[in-house]
Chain A
Amino acid sequence: DAGVTQSPTHLIKTRGQHVTLRCSPISGHKSVSWYQQVLGQGPQFIFQYYEKEERGRGNFPDRFSARQFPNYSSELNVNALLLGDSALYLCASSPGLAGVLETQYFGPGTRLLVL
C-alpha cells in the first residue's frame, strides 16, 4: 500500500509569492496534519484537518491556510512568502482524530526554498 505522498518534492519561490503544497493520505485515513521543519529544528505543528474541518492550529500567521478535500487529500497554502518560510513541510495522516492510540504516518515532505 502507498504511504503518505506529497508534491512537489522540491520548490523554489521568491519573496512575496504564493505557494501550494499537496498531500495525499494513506488510503482510509481521514485526518491530515501539516508540520513545518526549519533546518536544525524539530517539526512544528501547523494544522490538523479531519473530515474537511480544521481541528487544530499551531502558532502560525494567517498567511498559512489549508483545506481538505472530499477524498481526504489536503493542500497547504502560504501567501506572501518570506525568507523564513524556507523549510521542509511535512504532512502526516492518521485514521481518525489521531488520539493517543493512533499512529501518525509522515510523508517525505516538500522542501521549499524562498529566495
Chain B
Amino acid sequence: DAKTTQPPSMDCAEGRAANLPCNHSTISGNEYVYWYRQIHSQGPQYIIHGLKNNETNEMASLIITEDRKSSTLILPHATLRDTAVYYCIVRVVTSGSRLTFGEGTQLTVNP
C-alpha cells in the first residue's frame, strides 16, 4: 500500500471548516483513499473513502486532486467532538481487511 504523509497536528475553531491534508504521491491506479478518525481511548471510526472523484457523506467531504497524489478531508462545521486523530490510508482493492495506519493528524477543535 502507498505511503501517506500528514501533518502531525492542526487546530481549528469551533464552527469553522477543518481541512486536513494528506499526501500520497506514490498512489497506484487501483488504490483507494480512506479516512478514519480515533477519538481518545476509542477504536478508530470510518469517515469516508474515494478513488478519484470527490465524495461527500453526512460526516465529511473528500477532495482528491486530479493527479490523485494528494487529498483533503473537509469537516464543514467542526465541533469540539471532532477533536481526534485523523488517519489517511491508501488501500489496494485486494488487501483484504488490512488497513495500514500511519501516525495521523491530531486535530484539536478549540471553542
Contact = CB atoms under 8 A, between A and B. Distances in A.
Nearest to B51: A100
Contact of A43 (B46, B93, B99): B99
A48 B97 contact: yes
Contacts of A48: 96-98
A56 B95 CA distance: 9
Contacts of B43: 4, 90, 92, 106-109
Contacts of A4: 43
B50 to A, nearest CB: 11
Interface residue range, chain B: 20 to 34
A105 B99 CA distance: 12
Interface string A37-69: 000111111001000000110100000000000
Contacts of A92: 43-44, 97
A42 B101 contact: yes
Interface residues of A, number: 28
Contact of B97 (A44, A56, A90, A107): A56
A103 interface: yes
Contact of B99 (A40, A45, A99): A45
Contacts of B104: 42
Contacts of A103: 46
16 contacts: A33-B98, A41-B103, A43-B101, A44-B101, A45-B97, A45-B99, A56-B98, A92-B43, A97-B96, A97-B97, A100-B49, A100-B93, A104-B46, A106-B43, A106-B44, A107-B43
Q: Nearest 4 pairs between A and B by C-beta?
A: A42-B101, A106-B43, A98-B97, A33-B97
